[in-house]
A and B are shown apart, each in its own frame.
Chain A
Amino acid sequence: MISNSLSSFIKRKEFILLVIFAFVFALMSVLAPGKFLRPYNIQSMAFQLPEFGILAIAMMVVIVSGGINLSITYTATLSSIVGAVAIVAMNQAGAADWEAILAGVVIALAIGLACGAINGFVVAYVGVTPMLVTLGTMTLFEGVSLNITKGGAISGFPDAFLWFGNEAVLGVPVPMILFLLVVLASWYLLGRSRFGFSVYMIGCNPRATMFSGINVKKVLFSVYLFSALLCAISGLIMSSRYNSAKESYGSSYLLQSLAAAVLGGTDIAGGHGSLSGTILAVMILQVISSGTNIIGVNRYLTNIIMGAILIFVLALNFLSSRREIRKI
């Protein structure tokens, strides 16, 4: 019984990812002896990972529903910029720090939801292809952000705001705690709720889902809302970590999130994908980028490695699935 479940676990994609993670982690520890495994480095990775991880989950949820969200990074920065403006304005108006921060956070989350509502409305109710909608909103959100910042960065937060991105509670970084909360919420929503079940069903076959009595439009709309809410949280972490808000923060995370979701076993056509796979993929990518950074590998080489891993894993997927088909 135990060996049976063990062997089925070994065959799963998550296991392969876990092996890759262990391999990469060990490799980095060997290549950067005494540096990679330092508590300082582990902790700094724990500070960097959440903003990227949350964006990757935001991407993965949408991909599972059969779409794609190219606007994640600009949703994150737009909401954090508007939140930042509110915090700075209230701070200057003489409001207490906690009042300004609370208002800023609420406003940022609300803006995130508004961005998600635009995406969700056009995708679900108008019926435009998600890639196009989010390509358009990506440009739109970037434009609005630029219009607010005029190309610069917004800064001048009260010190208390930096707590979100830079402090640790009992040695656990606050961003990491937020990340764990997001993971927990996503796990519940995707894996344990009716909503999550419908999302997977829509990703497999929207028409059949509609005939089975699920309000496809409403679910799709909510998917984009949820995705955008996660983006707003990620945006807040980023602006706290960098002590400013700017439209270009995290723009490299867009393609990395897509890569992480796909690497984590999410089917780009929708219907399949696991939270644990995505998180493992995020961890792999984070270890590679931190590790190569420590070793002093040219950062362009890191790009090459990431791309090669992506193609390698997908090629492997294809070859192994073909072998299985042949066996049958």
Chain B
Amino acid sequence: MGTRRRDHVKLKMRKGKEAGIFAVFIAISLVIAISSPVFLRIDNLFDLIKSNIVLGIMAIAMLPIILTGGIDVSVASIIAAVTVVIGNFMIGVSSNIFLVFVVGCASGVALGLINGLLIAKLKIPPIVATLGTMSIIIGVVLYLTNGTWITGIPKNFIEYGRTDIFVLAAREGEPIGLPIQFAFFVGAAVLMWFVLRYTLVGRGVYAMGGSVVSAERIGYDLDKITIFIYALEGFLVGLAGTVHTSIMRQVDPGAFNGFELQVIAAVVLGGASVLGGYGSVFGTIMGVALFSVLNNGLILMHIPVFWQKIVVGTVLIASISVDILQKRYSENRMTRVDIEQIEG
């Protein structure tokens, strides 16, 4: 009876976590909307979405890794590598849209597999393994490209990147519509949601994050799960790289310097526990939304760019601290309830 009740309370509490993030998101949006009328304008919102799709896809890619209690600091170098690969592929081989996506995702998977194998087979701790691959991958990328931009992306790919799913209005001749890239973001989110919720691997991810020993005893093949999620991450980062190129219409190998920390911050802001075992796709999307609204709002409110990092850092620390304190408070209350039951 006691345990069932506790499970129920725990479940409710966890549902409350996403709701809390959502509430903060709405509150911040309201503050920004009131102080800057531009914020809620449809073109600003679409711009906001467009400029955060890549962060969104990468955060979704990172989610299962954080769920297992791992971390990947090499994502930024992987996406840099992918953009360079597809940039050269488009110019040198073929600019067939489908082929470009296949090549982008495949190169992402290949790099992700390396991480997965190092972590699963050689038992190198994730942060160290990905730190090593990060410096190798970004080293190779910068060595081969010398840091120079790749321009002259074929026309058809650029045209494709400009496509809108639907167009709402036009301002100064420029159509305002939901960019095609949004479809990939939705696709990535649905894919991850499905994998985490309805597949054996997905359940294994949560089991592993909860307790590695228990997961192994139930019979999950932890090595396979680990390799799978890093490959899946590579796949999605490959997708993000291709999407990024379609938005930017050029390749800058140095564009993602330090991006890994933003991705991790967004996932964590979305309520995923770095100790593993808890987090959801919805929460991650909320985290990305919160992150992007904060950045956008600060710009719209004409707050000097130097303040942005202070605000983001403070929000990050405050949100996690509140979360921990809340958990501790409710745990305290639960033990009190248990004691009362025993005494009664």
Contact = CB atoms under 8 A, between A and B. Distances in A.
Given A122-B317, A127-B328, A307 B307 contact: no
Nearest to A263: B128
Interface string B310-329: 11111011001100110010
A262 B129 CA distance: 11
Given A137-B313, A310-B135, A128 B321 contact: yes
A126 B136 CA distance: 37
Contacts of A68: 127
Nearest to A139: B313
B332 to A, nearest CB: 13
Contact of A259 (B131, B139, B274, B304): B131
Interface in A107-134: 122, 126-129, 131-133
B4 interface: no
A284 interface: no
B261 A307 contact: no
B281 interface: no
Nearest to B319: A136
A308 B140 CA distance: 12
Interface residues of A, number: 45
A301 B143 contact: yes
A262 B128 contact: yes
A318 B121 CA distance: 10
Nearest to B312: A139
B317 A131 contact: no
B275 interface: yes
B308 A143 contact: yes
A129 B316 CA distance: 12
B136 A307 contact: yes
A303 interface: yes
Contacts of A268: 125, 127-128
A306 interface: yes
A185 interface: no
Interface centre among B129, B309, B314, B316 (most CB of A within 10 A): B309
Contact of A301 (B139, B309, B321): B139
A146 B124 contact: no
A208 interface: no
A269 B125 contact: yes
B133 interface: yes
A303 B136 CA distance: 6
A314 B136 contact: no
A152 to B, nearest CB: 11
B309 A132 contact: no
B15 interface: no
A143 B306 contact: yes
B138 interface: yes
Given A303-B136, A315-B122, A140 B309 contact: yes
Nearest to A252: B135
Contacts of B127: 68, 258, 268
B132 interface: yes
A5 interface: no
Contacts of B320: 128-129, 132-133, 136
Contacts of B140: 300, 304
Given A129-B274, A138-B261, A268-B125, A303 B135 contact: yes
A132 B268 contact: yes
B123 interface: yes
Interface centre among A127, A137, A307, A314 (most CB of B within 10 A): A307
Contact of B317 (A133, A150, A303, A307): A133
Interface in A296-328: 298, 300-304, 306-308, 310-311, 314-315, 318-319
A151 B136 contact: no
Nearest to A261: B128
Interface centre among B310, B325, B328 (most CB of A within 10 A): B310
B81 interface: no
A255 B135 CA distance: 9
B264 interface: yes
Contacts of A150: 306
Contacts of B122: 314-315, 318-319
Interface string B245-278: 0000000000000000100110010000011000
A259 B321 CA distance: 29
B208 interface: no
A144 interface: yes
A147 interface: yes
B180 interface: no
B142 interface: yes
Nearest to B129: A311
Interface in B86-143: 118, 122-125, 127-129, 131-136, 138-140, 142-143
Contact of B321 (A126, A138, A151, A304): A126
Contacts of B136: 303-304, 307-308, 311
Given A129-B274, A314-B122, A139 B316 contact: yes
16 contacts: A126-B325, A129-B275, A132-B268, A136-B265, A137-B313, A139-B310, A140-B317, A143-B310, A255-B135, A269-B125, A298-B143, A301-B143, A303-B139, A304-B135, A310-B132, A311-B129
Interface of B: 71, 73, 118, 122-125, 127-129, 131-136, 138-140, 142-143, 261, 264-265, 268, 274-275, 304, 306-314, 316-317, 320-321, 324-325, 328
| Top 4 closest pairs, chain A to chain B, by CB | A143-B309, A140-B313, A303-B139, A143-B310
Given A140-B309, A311-B136, 8 more contacts: A122-B321, A140-B313, A141-B313, A258-B131, A307-B136, A307-B139, A310-B132, A311-B129
